[in-house]
């Protein structure tokens, strides 16, 4: 049985994963409208992954005697300015999610809930990969700068970059 405190913290993470899915969906739309098909595909995929992260938490909370909450979400931005700015936002967002997972893991230790601590190790590992991936795409776009040919190849190749899950 989850403690009330942990149930609340897990529900907060459910909201964060749902919001992440929406943010990346909006990034996918922005990229698609700019004609960046590869980037759009990458972001659609990433959005689906965040939904999967959310569902995994939802099922866990319900199985452990809690009640998963489907919350109201903040609307993500519609515009991202430039590809570089958008990829910077992606990276910053993943760092933020990693921090929130770390805080959640901390609550499991406070509550002495080792089953949930164990369950969350998957998220800890996943965040390491996602941060590394976001860093890689950001580094690549910084290298390319304003080179149109480089951007074309980047857009073509980005879909091959995914996180194993």
Contact with ligand OFO (CB under 6 A) among 50, 91, 108, 120: 50
Contact with ligand OFO (CB under 6 A) among 19, 94, 113, 155: 94
Per CB under 6 A, the segment of 37-45, 71-79, 102-110, 121-129 that binds ligand OFO is: 121-129
Q: How far apart are CA 101 and CA 13, in angstroms?
A: 8
Provide φ and ψ at 79, rounded to 5°.
-115, 145
Q: How far apart are CA 161 and CA 142, in angstroms?
A: 17
Contact with ligand OFO (CB under 6 A) among 86, 97, 133, 138: 97
Crossing angle of helices 148-157/114-144, nearest 10°?
Answer: 150
Contact with ligand OFO (CB under 6 A) among 7, 17, 19, 155: 17
Rounded to the nearest whole angstrom, what is the least distance from the CB of residue 53 to ligand OFO in the complex?
4
Nearer to ligand OFO, 31 or 133 (CB): 133
Nearer to ligand OFO, 53 or 89 (CB): 53
* 123 lies in the site for ligand OFO, by CB under 6 A: yes
Rounded to the nearest whole angstrom, what is the least distance from the CB of residue 100 to ligand OFO in the complex?
9
Contact with ligand OFO (CB under 6 A) among 14, 31, 127, 133: 127
Question: Nearest CA to 9 among 71, 101, 74?
Answer: 101
Q: How far apart are CA 72 and CA 122, in angstroms?
A: 26
With beta carbons less than 8 A apart as the criterion, state whether 111 and 3 touch: yes
CB atoms within 10 A of CB 109: 11
With beta carbons less than 8 A apart as the criterion, state whether 50 and 21 touch: yes
Residues that bind ligand OFO in the complex, under the rule CB under 6 A:
17, 20, 50, 53, 94, 97, 123, 126-127, 130
């Amino acid at each position: 049985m989850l403690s009330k405190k942990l149930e609340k913290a897990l529900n907060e993470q459910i909201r964060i994963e749902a919001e992440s899915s929406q943010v990346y969906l909006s990034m996918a739309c922005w990229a698609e409208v700019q004609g960046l098909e590869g980037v759009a595909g990458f972001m659609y995929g990433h959005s689906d992954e965040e939904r999967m992260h959310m569902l995994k938490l939802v099922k866990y909370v319900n199985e452990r005697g809690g009640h998963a909450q489907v919350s109201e979400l903040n609307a993500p931005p519609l515009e991202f300015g430039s590809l570089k700015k958008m990829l910077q936002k992606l990276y910053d967002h993943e760092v933020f999610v990693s921090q929130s997972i770390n805080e959640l893991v901390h609550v499991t230790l406070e509550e002495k809930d080792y089953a949930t601590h164990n369950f969350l190790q998957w998220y800890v590992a996943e965040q390491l990969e996602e941060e590394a991936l976001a860093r890689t795409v950001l580094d690549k776009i910084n290298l390319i700068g304003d080179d149109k040919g480089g951007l074309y190849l980047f857009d073509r190749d980005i879909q091959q970059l995914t996180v194993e899950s």
